Amino acid sequence: MNVDNFRLQLGGKEYVPIIIGGMGVNISTTELALVAEKLGGIGHISDAENGYVCDRILKTSFVSQKRKKYARFINNPDKSEVLFDLEEVAKAQKLYIEHTVSKKTGNGAIFLNCMEKLTMNNASETLKVRLSAAMDAGIDGLTLAAGLNLRTLDLIQDHPRFRDVKIGLIISSVRALSIFLKRAVRLNRLPDYIIVEGPLAGGHLGFGPDDWHTFDLKTIFIEVLDFMKKEALNIPVIPAGGIFTGTDAVDYLRMGAGAVQVATRFTITKESGLPNEVKQHYLNAREEDIVINMASTTGYPMRMLINSPTLRYAIKPNCEGLGYLLENGGKCSYIDAYYSALAERKPGEPIVVKEKTCLCTGMANYDCWTCGHTTYRLKETTNRLDNGKWQIPKAEDIFLDYQFSRDHAIRLPEPEPLA
């Protein structure tokens, strides 16, 4: 039995039950999402730092215009007046999503991973604009992630696509799911799918930095299935985090999963947005190189490679151009840490910023090497080249390996000649 023996039923449509997760900033590129869509699955893009992503791929100038507008605050730790123009946020979102969905060629779908923790110094309004603009632009589904916001559905309930677009959420516990569902019931708008993310996932985690290892995906997944059965809810439940082979996926599908969400193996593909030299760092990673820290200004723990350049950052905050993680009122713990370090620095010594990092700049520059726990196994999935580097596989090969492999076998890509 393999993954191809199953199908995800969602909104009257049938999909190959493989979902590629939404990795920001622009790691889950348009091209990566379209591979899943072409093959009948679901691919995510992420709207993390959407203005910056538009500038990179569509040659717009959202970041430079915003930086110019707020240049007078560059040396000021008070960022309370540094705000996003909501019309510009909507414009960037529409441009990016229309660029992606216009290229669809298959029977699958393109979903948007919406990082709700991007507060942008105006949390509710910017979130509403991002979601509304995504629906306007024709996105197939919205996955609410990275900071469960109980008011999200309220923000978009008047949009004409509120009941048409697929809406899902990422949770790590039955408790979080139960709280969200109570709100959804009041609006008579239940989620269309639920992604259960376990402690082995990459990026921001829904577990504590010290106790994450006491949880496991399978236990949480079963608890959610039992809860859904008890509540008589027929909503697909989709496990994520540590599903490394097609056989891992089949195990969950046989238990009742609607699909599986996978991401780690796609970070090193040709279609991934990571620079090739960074992909080599991922492929060379050992298990001990993968750490969980509290460097993120969101307050959530993050899993990343220990040699991530962002962990050594001592750069001036770039909130004028970026500022996606500014809390309401313009606060950010990295701003506090930076200016504290600046005040404590002795003449002639470099600035040393402790505990926090400038996540906006780090993610934009591909210096924040977030990863899943199984990243150390990526070397099992490709070939070592004669020059000592690793072959970069195609996303389609990995997708098909998940779909058709058996007995935990991993099919290596056909060797390529050295360029």
Answer yes or no: are the C-beta atoms of 124 and 155 closer than 8 Å: yes
Q: What is the pLDDT of residue 419?
A: 58
Instruction: Indicate whether 16 pLDDT > 90.
Output: yes
Query: How confident is the model at residue 39, as a pLDDT?
Result: 98
* Distances in whole angstroms, Cα of residue 254 to Cα of each of 46, 195, 258: 29, 17, 9
Encoding tokens for residue 369? Answer: 């090497």
Task: For the chain, give the percent of residues with pLDDT over 70.
Answer: 100
If one counts every other C-beta atom within 10 angstroms of the C-beta of residue 224, the result is 23
Question: 244-273: b or e for each residue (b if 16 or more CB lie within 10 Å)?
Answer: bbbbbbbebbeeebbbbbbbbbbbbbbbbb
CATH code matching the domain that covers 3-274+391-404, chosen among 3.40.50.300, 3.10.20.740, 3.40.1390.20, 3.20.20.70: 3.20.20.70
How many Å separate Cα 261 from the centre of its chain?
A: 11
- The pLDDT confidence band at residue 78, using thresholds 50, 70 and 90, is very high
pLDDT at 345 over 70: yes
Amino acid 46: pLDDT: 97
When pLDDT is averaged across residues 346-371 and rounded to a whole number, the result is 94
**Binning pLDDT at 50, 70 and 90, where does residue 418 land?**
low
* More reliable by pLDDT, 348 or 242: 242
The pairing of beta strand 302-305 with beta strand 203-204: antiparallel
How far apart CA 169 and CA 183 sit, in angstroms, is 13
What does the pLDDT look like over 245-293, one tens digit per residue? 999 999 999 999 999 999 999 999 999 999 999 999 999 999 999 999 9
pLDDT digits (tens, 9 = 90+) for 285-315: 999 999 999 999 998 899 999 999 999 999 9
Q: Residue 416 — very low, low, confident or very high, per pLDDT cuts 50/70/90?
A: confident
Position 53 pLDDT exceeds 80: yes
Domain assignments of the chain as residue spans, ordered by start: 3-274+391-404
**Between residues 213 and 39, which one has the greater pLDDT?**
39
Decide if 271 contacts 36 (C-beta within 8 A): no
Task: Give the pLDDT band of residue 146 (cuts 50, 70, 90).
Answer: confident
Which tokens sit at 256? 């009742």
Alpha carbons 197 and 175: distance in angstroms, whole number: 14
Residues 95-116 have a mean pLDDT of 97
Residue whose tokens read 């008890």: 230
The predicted pLDDT at position 129 comes to 98
Cα gap 262→285, rounded to integer Å = 19
Instruction: Tell me the mean pLDDT in the region 84-97.
Output: 98
Query: What is residue 170's three-state secondary structure?
Result: strand
147 has pLDDT over 80: no
Ramachandran assignment for 337, one of left (phi > 0), alpha (psi -120 to 50 degrees), beta (any other) = alpha
The predicted structure's pLDDT at residue 150: 79
The pTM of this model reads: 0.97
As a dihedral over the C-alpha atoms of residue 102, residue 103, residue 108, residue 114, rounded to 10 degrees, the angle is -60
Helix (H) or strand (E) holding 400: helix 395-404
Q: How much is the pLDDT for 208?
A: 86
